[in-house]
Structure 1
Amino acid sequence: MGCAIKFTPLLDLGPEQPVCGLLEIDNVTLLMNCGWSEQFDEQLLEPVISKLPHVDAVVLTHPDVYHVGALPYLIGRHGLTARIFSTVPVRRMGQLAMQELLLDKRAKKVLRQLQQ
C-alpha cells in the first residue's frame, strides 16, 4: 500500500526570488512557503491565490520575504485560514523580517516625499 505524492511549484524564479509550492500527499494539500518579492507585485501571486481553497495547511521553512512575505497578504486579503506550521525561530524571525521591510518601505516613502 503506497501513497500518492505530488509537488507543484507555484513560484520559483531562481535565487533570491519568491518560493512557493503545493505538496499533495494523498488527499492533504500543503502550501510550502508563501514567498513574495520586495516589489509586492500582486499579479505574481495569482497561481498561489487560485490554489488557496484547496490548502489544508501552510508550512514555512525560512524567515525571509522570499519564503513568508505573502503570508499576511494571503490571510488579510484572500481569507487564508489554513493552519500554519513553522518552528518558533522561523515564526519570530519572519515577523521581524516583515516588520523591518515595512519600516524600510515607509521610510523610503517619507524620504521621497521630503525630496519633492
Structure 2
Amino acid sequence: MMADQAMVRKLSTCETMGSATVICTDKTGTLTMNQTKVTKFWVGLDNIEYDSLVDEKLLELYHQGVGLNTTGSVYNSGTTCEYSGSPTEKAILSWAVTNLGMDMEKLKQDSTILHVQMFNSEKK
C-alpha cells in the first residue's frame, strides 16, 4: 500500500474494502448530488448486458444477492416504484427491478432468512 501511496488511518478500513461487493465510481457529480445509477454490471471480466439472455438460475442468484443483502426497500405505488435506503442501495435496487425484473415482495415471500449479522472486523 505504501508503494501506491495509499494512506490508511484505520486498519479495519482495509478489511472492509476487502469484503466490498459493490464499487461505485463517479465522474459527473452524481455522488455529490446524492444520486447514483447503475450503468454497467460486471461478473469477473464479463460485462453483463441488460438485454442479453441470462441463465434463470444465475438471474435468481442476482435477485437474492441484491434483494436479501440490503437494508433498502422497494415500494410499489401504482405504476411506479419508490426506493428507500442509501443512494447506493436505491441505485442497485432500482437497477435490479428495472433491468433484471426483480420482484422484491415475491423474493421475500419465497425466502427464509436464517441469520442476520452486521459486519464486524473483530468477528471476521
- Structure with bigger strand share is 1
- Structure with bigger helix share is 1
Q: Relative contact order (alpha carbons < 8 A, sep ≥ 6): 1 or 2 greater? A: 2
TM over 0.5: no
Tell me which structure has the larger Cα radius of gyration: 2
